[in-house]
Structure 1
Amino acid sequence: MAEKRDHQLPKEEAPYTPEVATRLVDENTDVRDDGRIDLDLDSALGRRLSRLVRDRDSIFSEPPPPYSEIERREWKMKLNIVIQVVGSRGDVQPFIALGNELQKYGHRVRIATHDVFDDFVRSHNLEFYPIGGDPADLMAYMVKNPGLIPSMKSLRAGDIGRKRAMVAEMLDGCWKSCIEHDPKTNIPFTADAIIGNPPSFAPVHCAQALGIPVHLMFTMPWTNTRAFPHPLANIKSKDTDKSFANYISYSIVELLTWQGLGDVINKWRVSIDLEPVPVTEGPNLNKTLQIPFTYCWSPALVPKPADWQSHIDVCGFFFREPPSYTPEPELDDFLRAGPPPVYIGFGSIVIDDPERMTALLLEAVQVAGVRAIISRGWSKLGGANQPNVFWLGDCPHEWLFQHVSAVVHHGGAGTTACGLLNGKPTTIVPFFGDQPFWGDMVAAAGAGPRPIPHRHLDSQNLAEAIAFCLTPEAATAAHGIAVKMRAENGVKNAVDSFHANLPLERAQCDLLPDRPAFWIYKKGKKPMRLSKLAAGLIASRLDLPRKHFRSYSPHQIVIENKRWDPVTGTHSAMLGTMTDLVEDTAGIFINPAKEYRRIKRTSYDDVQSSKTGGSLAPPSSSWDSASVRSTETAKPKRPNKSLAMAKASLKSLGKFHGHFFKGTLVDMPSAMADGLLAIPGYVGHTPALPSSSSSSSAAGNSKDIGTPDKKNGFAAFIDGPATHAPITDWRSGAVAGAKTFAYGMTSGLADFVVQPYRGAKAEGSWGAVKGAGRGIVSGVSKTAAGAIGLVAYPGAGLSKTVREGWYDTRAKLAAERRWEEGAWLVWAVREGALGDVNVGRVVKAFEHLRRGGEWSQYDELN
């Protein structure tokens, strides 16, 4: 990645570390009244992070394909898809359109969002799961504290505990939405894939816990690009290149977000038996893992930036089928009584002073000399009846915007899209979030004036904005955008993007290729990948025990810690270990008291029964909500307080010893080895990259140890930093240790000779001296990494294997839910609710393959 030389980190400054980044961001950023973050990139922050971004990221020389060239697969696999959405009705509505489009391919779709949208979602024939959180409360808070969701300044100040509790509630709700039965019908549901918007925060973590694919979709830019800054960033820079400043703004906003919510997310991860995300990885998780991303806006308004990779698409706005609507007589009479009015409305925005806003709007309408329809919205705007003003309740924008001359609104992506689709000039009065971004984009396209921040809105500038919208120039620009948008099919393109990024080959069931596999049967001569339905059919027909079917994950996500050098890497691991030990020591004394209060607080005498998640009715029963039998347990007995308190203390003591040995024998040595592997990049011809175990984070010039560049041969093998493959269990740990040792000894010893030779060839005698220095540093670091990694990496793998065996509650719960859904699918097949499934042929194919039959004969059997 090419950068200006003045972005180099001055030699006298210390290397970048997460602690340095946190301090620099705090010292050199500020949140404005409009919620955007002031970024001073001429400060130490800009100089430090310029090197960070240059080292971590790669900018592709060839632009990725535009949205119209998304791979379109012939898709037949039926998936359970949960769509996790946090936000207002305008945020939920586009995903309803997406859900209905996904249903056309046979997918079963569940929308997981706030409880208040239950009826709205189900009215579109989609399943629903409540995740908690109050969108009205969230919108009111956002108006008072615009910017990040929620305001990171307020989070760090510790004065919005209620909002943090709301985030924690929604995270837990998102997890349950992946595995819990339908709250109304009690029909089992386990997610096969997840779609989510970034403010929900949970999709990637839920996908990691279940071993399934995840795809993010959003209406505002959330991916680093040089084309424009992050919508929540206000860049102040004279010396820093503008495109670079744009690019780095995304990293800083992500860092601020993680500073505010990282502890909440990690606490929730622990509750579902996932390890906490390292502080260095949290802000960059989506980018490091290369999570597929689809942006839901029209490329006619904002084209896809050239530096976005192929797993990122711009697909067009999502529009649902226009609802059938007949206007109330009063509205119909008003529309017929004069020229088309101007629409004014702020939707789900909760305004502090609705009376003042009402008076302002009425005055602006009078000054502009227009007729207006003013939506009451969540703020319940309203005043006395006037001949030129109609106060509007609920009305679909798809119908209404066909009958107005211009629109004035808060700039939500859905409302903006609907106005432009109908060719209406638009004035945006942004409150927070992506709204200023959409205001700028509309103005840049000539379809409206510059956005008016709501704090600066008055009757005069609003009247002037309305006058601008009524000009022929604005109408022509809006009409041109509408023509292009009508040629797009955003929701269809988004489904194609989703399908194109799914791991189809790893996901297919061997017996029913139209269903994803989640079980492995290894008792036969050939292992078989089986779907929930296939496993249920085989188990019920052949009376096979469940223990013969092992869980299978079609898409593993591995999150590992990056190490920049051995000093900071080992120091960070040591601090993490010390923190754990301090918490465990405190828990020895504090947790017994917590356990005592918990027992005292629980009213055991009132407990009649407890549900374990709704086990299925016997196969002979008719399946409906009434026939689902929740497992009843006997009334639990009040536990012995002294014994429970002692167990709580001993549990903390056990954690203390576990963290001590893991930290000293695994974490710190692994961090040292990873840091040593990164050193050659600082002295060689390639930029320094942190060593990583994440399979999705190998970027730039880093390479997996043991896989040298065949094109460039041995020279490429010894150059630059290297990474090992993901360590997920004792086997992968042993392989990583062996490969690191072989690489370190071979490449490290070669550096002592090769680097001086290269230096002499390039710069003569002085080059040979410099090459010798590089060879010594690189050779020593590689050989040391090999020696330490030979022991540390197998230890890390063994630790993960032990942890998976110890903390297996989440895995067991997921497996239980999948098995329950398989039983329900078997019942549905018997009742004829799943179409034509030839059970006899499925069983016959299974028996044939179990006896060692050839896979090529499967088609003949099935």
Structure 2
Amino acid sequence: MSSPLSILYELLLNMMPLPDVGDKHENPPPAYEESKTPELVHEAVEVTDDGRIGVDLNSKLARGLSVFLPNPPDYSSIITPGEIKHVAWPIKLNIIIQVVGSRGDVQPFIALGTELQKYGHRVRLATHDVFQDFVTKAGLEFFPIGGNPEELMAYMVKNPGVIPSMKSMRQGDIQRKRAMIAEMLRGFWSSCIEPDPVLQSPFVADAIIANPPSFAHVHCAQALGIPVHLMFTMPWTNTRAFPHPLATLKNVGSDPSAANWISYSVVEWLTWQGLSGVINKWREGIDLEPIEMMEGPNLASALQIPFTYCWSPALVPKPLDWPSHIDIRGFFFRSAPKYTPPPDLGAFLRAGPPPVYIGFGSIVIEDPEKMSRILIDAVQQCGARAIISRGWGKLGGPEMDNIFYLGDCPHEWLFQHVAAVVHHGGAGTTACGLLNGRPTTIVPFFGDQPFWGNMVAVAGAGPKPIHHKILNAQNLAEAIAFCLTPEASAAAGKIAAQMSSETGVQTAVDSFHSHLPLDKMACDILPHRPAVWNYSKKKRTVKLSREAAELLNEHMKIDQNKLELYEAKPIFIDPHHYDPISSTTSAFVASQYDAVKATGNMFYKPYKEYKRRNEHRLDQSPHTSHTRSLASFNGERSGSGSSMTTERKRGNVAGKMAAASGKAFGDFTLNGFKAATVDIPLACSEGLKNVPALYGDKVRDNGRVTDWKSGAIVGGKSFMYGMGEGLSDIFVQPYKGAQKEGAVGALKGVGKGTVSLVTKTTSGILGLVAYPNQGIAKSIRTAVKSSTRKKIMQARMIESVYLARSSSTRDEQLDRERVLARFEELMRSG
């Protein structure tokens, strides 16, 4: 049997992403996307027939991850299910909503954005370009992020789980997917700080709402220092109640609830393994440090990011092990759009009994003709009337009296006129069908669709889901027949009655507001405006909004150059060092990886520079070639001009190659120095300091290192408390133990005191070096990596001027005298 340390070391080596050393055409895919998938991942997971991930709980990966997972908590004593409080919110914010997915994923957030506007917020929805009209017609601002949702849906149908198929690898799907994600990450960051693409009105986000697959959310919030709130239609948080919707479990053992809990972390690890290279490269581009391999998975959970799930608790109640910053608030429904059916649809609905709706929305179907034949044959077998939605799958068939082929039509209207619904199981479509009391058959393709199919079946409102790979006319006809029974209709009606009392969008807005730090976000002068600047004078610091700062600057009450960006909700992504062995091993392995990557780049980067130059030379348009011919002709006339230019170009290429190699060597030296003086000593010191937590004792918090000053302070505290407590615990721990458990407790105390003497004193000595060095490294990085901060400041300045100048035309005019007087009052009080 392998030791815990060997499991950990193998886990770290196998889960490490490959170096990201090229452009989008040259980058190797992440480790598990290679044909030579690491044994650790092969042993742990397999793709099942229904497209989900089969997780072996007895694998080294699962056992290794369980070492780092805390015991599942139980919040049952403090949870009050169904309690909803309306939150009055006075501050008007710039809110960016970031969404990746299909039309069904975007639609709930349109409803959310419309509700947020009622509070005076400026709401911008950032998503794929193809949804621009869908968003703007609802009255929301739109920002394009790129990415092709149809291509994304096609990829997900072929690779419904986390691990892609060999067919996808051969066809280059993975590289296109990674390039698309990189494009969307850049688009999401731009959506936070760039002006409206149409109106050119400045915009800088004050808060972020996002669905988890958008991936940029936490990182954008960290760069801006603003709150972020996640919302989703699919369980994404560890729970003992049920496994991850993308996972099926085997070798569960005697405790299935613990297996459910671990399944979420396994899926998170695999997801991070596939995307860490893309995300970290993008983070470097916005001056954020790369996230270490142990911190990427479960990042939102570790940071306790507020989470609102938009489904009905009538279907899935809140698990008892979810904390208070996680809410379930009901499905998000938009106001029913005004819709007049075309004459042919109206005539079909009037021509007979209510039909069955069949459609798969934004799903891209590989063989539309085969799927259409199955649907038509099933309808004919059960003798029903049907409306078949063409959708992105391009379904269709011959004209028949009992079948109508439908284009675009809002479900909110249509589902009032049908007897039952058959669809792919998207959360929004499922919710709309159940809200109208329609029995439902779900034919899942990927993602959370099997989850919702099972939930509907458990409630009795439909049959068990039929995965699209095993769908045929016979089982579909049987499913439709079940939906047309009185029992299914009664079950769906019961759910509809419960859902009709829910106000998902309104309570989700309350959830969002309740988790915002109101006291930290308000301007000290205009409390209904968000603070974005800090201004310090005579040891007094005030928080200023955009409008207040510009007004004070116009009246020369402040020096604009002394304004500093204010972060209402700073986010710190620090490595977690659970114990000295795992933390030091992790730091050592990471340093090895950096060394190997830098060594490879010393040879690869010059070659890449040479190759790029040759490709540029060969890839010339006719116009460019003509220009070069004229230049050559002129060079010949002037003598040696052409040869001199050629020699100069060769020299430039050689110089760039040497510079690329020199930069890679510099990275090698810098990374090695940082690993030896900061990363490894810090990991060891932190791991030793946290040893008491392993046997239930409290660990002292010496503060966070953000710059060289705080590094020196934390280093001093670490040494002082480490030496003091380490020397005293040899006496204190036996005394405490004796008081609690008598002689046995005293004996335990001797052991604790002995361990404390070694770990705390060693941690203090190492910390005296590690923390100051960490602070110096952070200060240097802040000074060098400042371009993004400057861009944010510039965007804030532009928006401040824009808002101050436009405020005179608003109903809410700024009381200039009141602002100036309040500022003078604050300065005097300091």
Using the size of structure 2 for normalisation, the TM-score is 0.88
Show the counterpart of 1:624. Answer: none
| Residues 472-483 of structure 1 mapped to structure 2, 5 A cutoff | 472-483=486-497
46, 53, 77: which is aligned to 1:30?
46
Work out whether 1:552 is the aligned partner of 2:566. yes
Cα separation, partners in 2 of 1:13 and 1:542, compared to 1, 3 Å: closer
Selected match of 2:800 from 815, 822, 843: 822
From the superposition, tell whether residues 205 and 461 of structure 1 become closer, same or farther in structure 2 (CA, over 3 Å): same
Aligned 8 A contact 1:430 1:436 in 2: yes
For 2:109 and 2:75, the matched residues in 1 are separated by 31
CA distance in 1, matches of 2:74, 2:282: 34
Q: Tell me the residue number matched to 1:40.
A: 56
- Summarize the alignment of residues 690-839 of structure 1 with structure 2, pairs less than 5 Å apart: 719-757=697-735, 768-830=746-808, 832-833=809-810, 835-839=812-816
Q: In the alignment, which of 814, 819, 830 is matched to residue 842 of structure 1?
A: 819
Partners of 1:88 and 1:18 in 2: CA distance = 40
CA contact (8 A) 2:11 2:60 kept: no
Tell me which residue corresponds to 2:11: 20
Correspondence for 1:681: 693
Question: Which amino acid letter does the alignment assign opposite residue 511 of structure 1?
Answer: I
Is 1:144 aligned with 2:158?
yes
Distance 1:48 1:583, change over 3 A: closer
- Asked whether 1:60 is paired with 2:75, we answer yes
What residue in structure 2 maps to residue 166 of structure 1?
180
Any residues of structure 2 matched to 1:557-706 within 5 Å, and which? 557-592=571-606, 594-595=608-609, 644-645=656-657, 647-682=659-694, 684=695, 686=696
| Residues matched between the structures, number | 777
Query: Shift of residue 524 of structure 1?
Result: 5.2
- How has the CA–CA distance of structure 1 residues 818 and 643 changed in structure 2, closer, same or farther, with 3 Å as cutoff? farther
Cα distance, 1:587 vs structure 2: 4.0
Amino acid at match of 1:656: F
For the pair 1:350 / 2:364, whether they are aligned, the reply is yes
1:834-856 Cα deviation digits (max 9, x unpaired): 63222332233224433x147xx
Q: CA deviation at 1:260?
A: 1.1
Q: Please tell me the residue identity of whatever aligns with 2:813.
A: D
- Taking a change above 3 Å as real, the CA distance of residues 132 and 773 of structure 1, as seen in their structure-2 partners, is same
Tell me the amino acid that sits aligned with residue 177 of structure 2.
Answer: K
Partner-residue secondary structure (3-state), 2:762 = helix
Q: CA 1:555/1:233 → structure 2, altered by over 3 Å: closer, same or farther?
A: same
Measured in 1, the distance between the counterparts of 2:85 and 2:783 equals 40
Taking the aligned partners of 1:338 and 1:501, their CA distance within structure 2 comes to 51
Specify the code of the residue in structure 1 equivalent to 2:56.
D
TM superposition shift of 1:132: 1.0
How do residues 418-497 of structure 1 correspond to structure 2 at under 5 angstroms?
A: 418-497=432-511
Structure 1 residue 287 corresponds to structure 2 residue 295: no
* Corresponding position of 2:384: 370
Identity %: 58
Match of 1:269 in 2: 283
Structure-2 change in CA distance of 1:789 and 1:425 (3 Å): same
Cα shift at 1:752 = 1.6
- C-alpha deviations, 1:598-642, integer Å up to 9, x for none? 677779999xxxxxxxxxxxxxxxxxxxxxxxxxxxxxxx99656
Out of 538, 541, 564, the position equivalent to 1:527 is: 541
Structure 1 position 439, deviation (Å) = 0.3
Once the two structures are TM-superposed, the CA of residue 740 in structure 1 deviates from its matched residue by 2.1
Instruction: Give the 3-state SS of the residue equivalent to 1:374 in structure 2.
Output: strand
Per the alignment, do residues 653 and 541 of structure 1 end up closer, same or farther by CA in structure 2, a change over 3 Å counting?
A: farther
Does 1:109 pair with 2:123? yes
Structure 1: runs of 5 or more not aligned: 1-9, 607-637, 687-718, 855-862
Match of 2:230, SS state, is: strand
Change in Cα spacing, 1:238 to 1:172, as seen in structure 2 (3 Å) is closer
User: Equivalents in 2 of 1:520, 1:760: separation in Å?
Assistant: 53
State the shift of 1:241 in Å: 0.9
d(CA) in 1 for partners of 2:738 and 2:2? 25
Cα distance in 2 between the residues matched to 1:474 and 1:649: 69
Structure-2 separation of matches of 1:642 and 1:801 = 34
1:509 offset after TM fit, Å? 0.8
> Within 1, Cα distance between the matches of 2:757 and 2:170?
44
Assess if the C-alpha contact under 8 Å between 2:689 and 2:699 holds in 1. Answer: yes
In 2: Cα distance, 1:39 partner to 1:643 partner = 51
Offset of 1:247 from its aligned partner? 1.2
Query: After superposition, what is the alpha-carbon deviation per residue over 1:266-292, rounded to whole angstroms, capped at 9, x for unaligned?
Result: 111111111111111111201110000
TM-superposed CA distance for 1:544, in Å, is 5.1
Distance in 2 separating the partners of 1:535 and 1:136: 45
> Which residue is 2:148 aligned to?
134
Cα offset for 1:210?
A: 0.8
* Paired residues of 1:365 and 1:371 also in contact (CA < 8 A): yes
2-side partners of 1:726 and 1:374: how far apart? 59
Q: Which position in structure 2 is the counterpart of 1:248?
A: 262
User: How far off is 1:585 after superposition?
Assistant: 4.2
Q: What's the offset of the Cα at 1:787? A: 1.5
- Structure 1 residues 375 and 50, CA gap change in structure 2 (3 angstroms): same
Secondary structure of 1:275's match?
coil
Report what 2:26 is aligned to: none
Check whether the contact 2:202–2:799 (CA below 8 A) recurs between aligned residues: yes
Alpha carbons of 1:655 and 1:25: their partners in 2 closer, same or farther (altered >3 Å)? closer
- Note the C-alpha offset of 1:820: 0.9
Question: 1:538-549 maps to which residues of 2 (within 5 A)?
Answer: 538-542=552-556, 545-549=559-563
CA contact (8 A) 1:344 1:372 kept: yes
**SS in structure 2 opposite 1:752?**
helix
Cα distance between partner residues in 2 of 1:284 and 1:373: 42
- Return the offset for 1:588: 4.4
Instruction: Compute the displacement of 1:320 (Å).
Output: 0.6
Determine the C-alpha separation between the residues in 2 that align with 1:156 and 1:308. 41
Q: Tell me, what secondary structure is at the counterpart of 2:208? A: strand
RMSD: 2.8
Instruction: Report if the CA contact (8 A) 2:44-2:62 is conserved.
Output: no
Q: How does 1:300-319 map to 2 (within 5 A)?
A: 300-319=314-333
Secondary structure of 2:160's partner? coil
Q: In structure 1, what is the Cα distance between the partners aligned to 2:431 and 2:385?
A: 23
Following the alignment from structure 2 to structure 1, what is the Cα–Cα distance between the partners of residues 170 and 74? Answer: 33
In the alignment, which residue of structure 1 is the partner of 2:634? Answer: none
Conservation of the 8 A alpha-carbon contact between 2:54 and 2:249: yes
Could you say if the C-alpha distance between residues 26 and 338 of structure 1 is closer, same or farther in structure 2, counting changes exceeding 3 Å? same
Q: State the AA in 1 paired with 2:788.
A: R
- Mapped partners of 1:588, 1:840: distance in 2: 62
CA contact (8 A) 1:148 1:433 kept: no
8 Å CA contact 2:5–2:582 kept in 1: the answer is no
**Cα separation, 2, equivalents of 1:768 and 1:839:** 70
